């Protein structure tokens, strides 16, 4: 079937941006017939005609410039939004899906933010609305994901001085490497928007943060090969390898053990000798704990529960080969033995003791201003550990100015972690900060709110700080209410795409929130200002329809003061109804007496009498004892 519409695509550039002086471009005489996706017409045929520079012999198409003699090298020729069509393929083959209209790319971002869309859902929608093409849905989904990531990353980080003429890899196989190079730029841009944002709702010294979303993205089990470091703060946290493990193994391809070397089984778990600081481990399939000196160095590198191996590596670095030295360093933030007693006091410890073997992203940690503007985003590796939480808040404090209150659902543990003397030199940024619990999390804490407990911390109560009256300390929960559906979209992605996807959407959300104040949503006024017994009774069969209606409604106060009317009177007092239908859930109940349900349920606000159950389906019968319980005669 032929497409519903077709279009001719011409390059908007008239002069070469690379030649000095700028040489004019001339159109090629040949054209290619390819597929493109637009917002108005769906999939449509495009007649693509390139332009050529006679001076440097480069070919131009969309926002790209191709080297002469082939497409092995692609350079950025202009801002991607200056061209109506975005081409995401390096080689243009006839009949292939190679381009998307910028309006559709903008619609995709909006759909992710407001419509809870997914890549697969967008493809199904286009296929259903615009039939007539023979493109494979799986290939279309990969193309949509590929094109959206490239266009969004390039558009957000565009700087003509830095990117004009820069080489850009358009190949689908190189998407992860391309996004990995743009991830620091996107993270820096998010921090920049957080530092420059000002509004009336966040004009207070408060930062809120929390981790949420149950992710299932698996990570390599090598836990000490990399760290996340901030040179400005002088802080680092170990995050290990963030690559996806290969099939049938807990480790990625780069951290697989040498097949030629005979290795013992993988380490199952470890234990620490109390008071002596010594570690002992045991292999999988064995019940005996062995001293650390007798363990395989490779297996030790592959296993580290609660970062215990970092303490051991700092104490005895000679155990590792020169090529296997620990890159984390002694200044990395990690839990100390003196932290656990205080942290466990409120039973709010969040570590990875539950899952020692399988390593995943435990969720996303966001730091938010009280107005809802996102300042930082961090993917929690392994668990929502206090070192990672402290690192995120330290970044946010460094970005924003004048923030004194830190609101976190485990504020008591975070306060003790940051004030521990063993890391006093690293935690200077938390000096004079006040840690506060959100109002919705007070019930789960015991020790920090008990004046008789040794770990009593009165500052965590919001009511103890008058300047926090009226301040929204639940802004992070509002962000996760928006982002909760992103789990289903991002879980199938590779880790690097996972991180970039959240960065792009947080940037887009901040941009949409900054466009202007939106009208506050309000429920319609139904004039339900009196209790249900004071409503005028419904007309019965014996009422005279010719009776004139009153000119004015009764005053609500007078109606309430009067004797309450029968909430639902019956037309004939001699006939007592036996059935009552709940109009909210459409459940049918038996009546033991007037206005009393047989099963003991409370009288609903909206209901009506029935004389027979014939008009109600069997599935809508109340099966509680007393109504239509199993075995009853009905």
**For residue 10, is it left (φ>0), alpha (ψ between -120 and 50) or beta?**
beta
Q: How confident is the model at residue 551 (pLDDT cuts 50, 70, 90)?
A: low
Q: Which of the residue ranges 121-135, 421-435, 560-574 has the most confident prediction, judged by mean pLDDT? A: 421-435
CA distance 165 to 149: 20
Quick one: average pLDDT of 580-598? 86
Contact between residue 58 and residue 68 where contact means Cβ atoms under 8 Å apart: yes
**For residue 95, is it left (φ>0), alpha (ψ between -120 and 50) or beta?**
left
Strands 279-283 and 290-291: antiparallel
Burial of 382 (0-12, 13-18, 19+ CB in 10 A): buried
The pLDDT of residue 378 is 92
Tokens (6 digits) for 157: 């980080």
Q: How confident is the model at residue 315 (pLDDT cuts 50, 70, 90)?
A: very low
Quick one: average pLDDT of 34-54? 88
Whether the pTM exceeds 0.85: the reply is: no
Q: How confident is the model at residue 355 (pLDDT cuts 50, 70, 90)?
A: very low
User: Could you tell me the residue ranges of all domains in the chain?
Assistant: 6-170, 192-241+333-513, 567-634
Greater confidence (90 vs 138) lies with: 138
Give one DSSP letter per residue of 287-349, joined into a string: ---EEGGGS-HHHHHH--STTHHHHHHHH-GGGS-GGG--SS-TTS----HHHHHHHGGGT--
Q: How confident is the model at residue 1 (pLDDT cuts 50, 70, 90)?
A: very low
The pLDDT of residue 283 is 86
Phi, psi for residue 258 in degrees, rounded to 5: -65, 125
Q: How confident is the model at residue 272 (pLDDT cuts 50, 70, 90)?
A: low
Q: How far is CA 380 from the centre of its chain?
A: 12
Quick one: average pLDDT of 469-490? 84
Greater confidence (302 vs 129) lies with: 129
Q: What angle do CA 146, 150, 153 make, to 5 degrees?
A: 140
Quick one: average pLDDT of 235-259? 80
Quick one: average pLDDT of 304-328? 45
Model pLDDT for residues 423-472, shown as the tens digit of each residue: 888 888 898 899 998 887 777 787 888 888 888 888 988 888 988 888 88
pLDDT at 538 over 70: no
């Amino acid at each position: 079937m032929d497409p519903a519409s077709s279009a001719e695509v011409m390059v908007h550039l008239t002069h070469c941006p690379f030649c000095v002086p700028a040489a004019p471009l001339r159109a090629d005489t040949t054209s290619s017939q390819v597929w493109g996706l637009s917002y108005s017409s769906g999939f449509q045929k495009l007649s693509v005609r390139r332009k050529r520079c006679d001076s440097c012999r480069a070919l131009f198409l969309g926002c790209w410039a191709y080297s002469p003699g082939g497409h092995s090298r692609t350079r950025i020729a202009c801002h991607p939004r200056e061209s109506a069509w975005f081409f995401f393929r390096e080689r243009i083959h006839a009949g292939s899906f190679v381009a998307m209209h910028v309006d559709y790319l903008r619609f995709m971002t909006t759909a992710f933010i407001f419509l809870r869309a997914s890549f697969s859902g967008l493809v199904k929608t286009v296929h259903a609305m615009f039939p007539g093409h023979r493109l494979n849905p799986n290939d279309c989904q990969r193309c949509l994901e590929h094109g959206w990531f490239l266009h969004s990353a390039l558009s957000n980080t565009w700087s003509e001085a830095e990117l004009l003429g820069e080489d850009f890899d358009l190949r689908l196989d190189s998407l992860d490497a391309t996004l990995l190079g743009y991830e620091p730029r996107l993270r820096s841009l998010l921090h920049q928007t957080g530092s420059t944002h000002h509004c009336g709702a966040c004009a207070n010294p408060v930062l809120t943060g929390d981790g949420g979303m149950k992710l299932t993205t698996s990570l390599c089990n090598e836990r000490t090969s990399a760290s996340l470091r901030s040179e400005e703060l002088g802080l680092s946290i170990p995050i290990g390898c963030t690559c996806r493990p290969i099939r049938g193994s807990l480790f990625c391809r780069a951290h697989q053990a040498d097949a030629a070397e005979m290795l013992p089984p993988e380490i199952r778990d470890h234990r620490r000798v109390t008071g002596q600081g010594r570690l002992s481990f045991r292999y999988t399939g064995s019940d005996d704990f062995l001293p650390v000196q007798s363990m395989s160095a490779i297996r030790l590198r592959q296993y580290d529960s609660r970062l215990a191996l970092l303490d051991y590596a700092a104490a005895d670095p000679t155990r590792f080969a020169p090529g296997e030295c620990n890159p984390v360093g002694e200044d990395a933030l990690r839990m100390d033995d003196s932290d656990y007693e205080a942290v466990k006091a409120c039973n709010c410890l969040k570590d990875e003791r539950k899952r020692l073997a399988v390593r995943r992203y435990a969720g996303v940690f966001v730091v938010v201003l009280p107005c809802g503007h996102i300042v930082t985003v961090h993917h929690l590796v392994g668990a929502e550990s206090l070192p990672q939480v402290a690192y995120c808040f330290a970044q946010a404090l460094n970005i924003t100015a004048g923030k004194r209150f830190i609101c976190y659902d485990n504020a008591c543990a975070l306060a003790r972690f940051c004030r521990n003397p063993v890391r006093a030199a690293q935690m200077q940024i938390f000096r004079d900060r006040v840690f506060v619990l959100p109002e919705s999390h007070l019930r789960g804490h015991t020790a920090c709110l008990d004046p008789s407990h040794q770990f009593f911390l009165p500052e965590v109560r919001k009511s103890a700080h008058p300047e926090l009256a009226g301040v929204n300390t639940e802004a992070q929960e509002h962000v996760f209410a928006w982002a909760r559906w992103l789990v289903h979209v991002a879980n199938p992605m590779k880790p690097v795409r996972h991180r970039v996807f959240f960065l792009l959407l947080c940037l887009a959300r901040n941009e949409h929130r900054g466009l202007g104040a939106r009208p506050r949503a309000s429920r319609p006024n139904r004039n339900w200002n009196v209790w249900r017994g004071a409503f005028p009774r419904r007309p019965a069969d014996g009422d005279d329809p010719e009776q004139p209606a009153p000119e004015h409604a009764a005053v609500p106060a007078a109606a309430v003061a009067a004797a309450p009317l029968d909430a639902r009177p019956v037309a004939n007092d001699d006939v007592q109804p036996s059935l009552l239908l709940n109009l909210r859930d459409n459940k049918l109940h038996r009546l033991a007496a007037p206005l009393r349900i047989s099963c003991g349920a409370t009288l609903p606000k909206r209901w009506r009498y029935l004389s027979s159950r014939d008009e109600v389906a069997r599935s809508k019968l109340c099966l509680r004892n007393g109504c239509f319980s199993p075995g009853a005669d009905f």
